[in-house]
Amino acid sequence: MIQSLRLAIRSATRVACAAMLFALVATNAARAQDAVVEELPPALTHYQGREIAQTMHYLGADWLTRESRQREEDCDRMLAALKLQPGQSVCDLGCGNGFYTLPMAELVGEKGRIYAVDIQQEMLHLLDERAKDAGHANIEPVLGSPIDPRLPEGKLDLILLVDVYHEMSHPEHMLREMRRALRPQGRLVLVEFRLEDPEVPIKLLHKMSKEQIKKELLPNGYRLVEEYDDLPWQHMMFFEPDTKAAEKSPAR
Ligand SMILES: C[S@@+](CC[C@H](N)C(=O)[O-])C[C@H]1O[C@@H](n2cnc3c(N)ncnc32)[C@H](O)[C@@H]1O
C-alpha cells in the first residue's frame, strides 16, 4: 500500500516537473519570438512619384552570379571606383548571395570588415557557403529588417547598394538608419540601372534616373559628392551625410 502511494507521488511529481519545464520553455520561446518580430509600418508602394519594385526572391539568386555579369556590368571597374582601402569597415547592403561581398572582403583585407546585410535569411545562407569556400573570415552576415539594417552606429566608411535601393519598401527609414551608421565622411554609394538609357535591357521598374535618385536622397540628409559614369549599364552615385539638411529631413 505504502509502496503504491510512493509510486503515485513520484509519478505525479514527474508530471508536475514536466509541466513546469514545458511552461518555462514555451515562455522563453514566446519571448525570443517577441525579440525578433518587429512592428513594421505599412510598406510603401510608391515614393516620390516612383513605383517601388518587389524584392528579388532568393530562388532567383543564380542570376546574380551569372557568368555574363562581369561583361554586362563591368563589375571589376565598379569595385575599383569604390577605392576601398585595407582596414576599412564597409557594408554590402542588400548583399544577396554575396557576389560583391567576397571581392570587397579581399580588398579591405583581414584588418577590415564587411557587414553583409540582407532581409532574406536564405540569401545570407548562400553568402555564408560562398564565404566559407573562399576562406574569408572578415565578413559579418547581418539579417536586417525592411526598416533597419542593424548596423553599428557611426562606424562605417562606406555603404554599397548595388541594384537594391529601388526595392526598399521603407526608403526613409533605411536612409535614416544608413546615415546613422556612417562615419561623418563615410559614403553611401548607389549603383542603379540607368532609366535614361533605353539600351539598358532591364525592366523599367528596376531602373532609376539620376534625377529621381537625387529627389529621394537629398531631402533625406545626404549630399551628392561624386558621380561615376563609366559603367556599361549603371549609374554610380556617391553621397555623404549632410548634417545641416539632416536636421530638417523627414527621416530624422
Ligand atoms: C537585386 S538583389 C541585388 C544583390 C546584390 N547587391 C548584387 O548586386 O548581387 C537585391 C537584394 O536586396 C535585398 N533587399 C531588398 N530590400 C532590402 C532592405 N531594406 N535591406 C536589406 N536588403 C534588402 C533583397 O533581399 C535582395 O537580396
Look at residue 50 in the predicted model and tell me its pLDDT: 98
CATH of residue 181's domain is 3.40.50.150
Residues 70 and 129 in one domain: yes
Q: Which three-class secondary structure state does DSSP give residue 158? A: strand
Residues 17 and 68 in one domain: no
Give the C-alpha distances (Å, rounded to integers) separating 106 from 36, 125, 128, 136.
32, 20, 15, 8
Look at residue 243 in the predicted model and tell me its pLDDT: 79
Residues 106 and 87 in one domain: yes
Residues 56 and 178 in one domain: yes
Pick the residue with more confidence: 248 or 145?
145
When pLDDT is averaged across residues 179-200 and rounded to a whole number, the result is 97
Is the CB of 144 within 6 Å of ligand 1?
Answer: yes
When pLDDT is averaged across residues 167-188 and rounded to a whole number, the result is 98
Pick the residue with more confidence: 167 or 4?
167
Residue 131: pLDDT over 90: yes
Is the CB of 162 within 6 Å of ligand 1?
Answer: yes
Is the CB of 145 within 6 Å of ligand 1?
Answer: no
Residues 105 and 136 in one domain: yes
User: If you measure from the C-alpha of residue 135 to the centroid of ligand 1, how many angstroms do you get, rounded to a whole number?
Assistant: 23
Look at residue 251 in the predicted model and tell me its pLDDT: 54
Look at residue 140 in the predicted model and tell me its pLDDT: 97
Q: What's the rounded Cα separation, in Å, for the pair 131 and 124?
A: 10
Structurally, how many domains does the chain consist of? 2
Pick the residue with more confidence: 228 or 15?
228
Q: What's the rounded Cα separation, in Å, for the pair 121 and 85?
A: 29
Residues 19 and 89 in one domain: no
Residue 224: pLDDT over 50: yes
Look at residue 244 in the predicted model and tell me its pLDDT: 74
Give 145-164 pLDDT, tens digit per residue.
Answer: 999 999 999 999 999 999 99
Residues 9 and 112 in one domain: no
Residues 188 and 161 in one domain: yes
- Alpha helices (runs of H) in the chain, residue ranges in sequence order: 2-36, 69-73, 75-82, 101-108, 121-134, 171-181, 210-217, 243-248
Q: Which three-class secondary structure state does DSSP give residue 228? A: strand
Is the CB of 174 within 6 Å of ligand 1?
Answer: yes
Domain that holds residue 102: 46-248
Report percent pLDDT > 70 for the chain.
82
Residues 26 and 50 in one domain: no
Residues 230 and 168 in one domain: yes
User: If you measure from the C-alpha of residue 52 to the centroid of ligand 1, how many angstroms do you get, rounded to a whole number?
Assistant: 13
Residue bearing cell 561623418: 184
Residues 6 and 104 in one domain: no
Is the CB of 94 within 6 Å of ligand 1?
Answer: yes
Residues 64 and 157 in one domain: yes
When pLDDT is averaged across residues 66-80 and rounded to a whole number, the result is 97
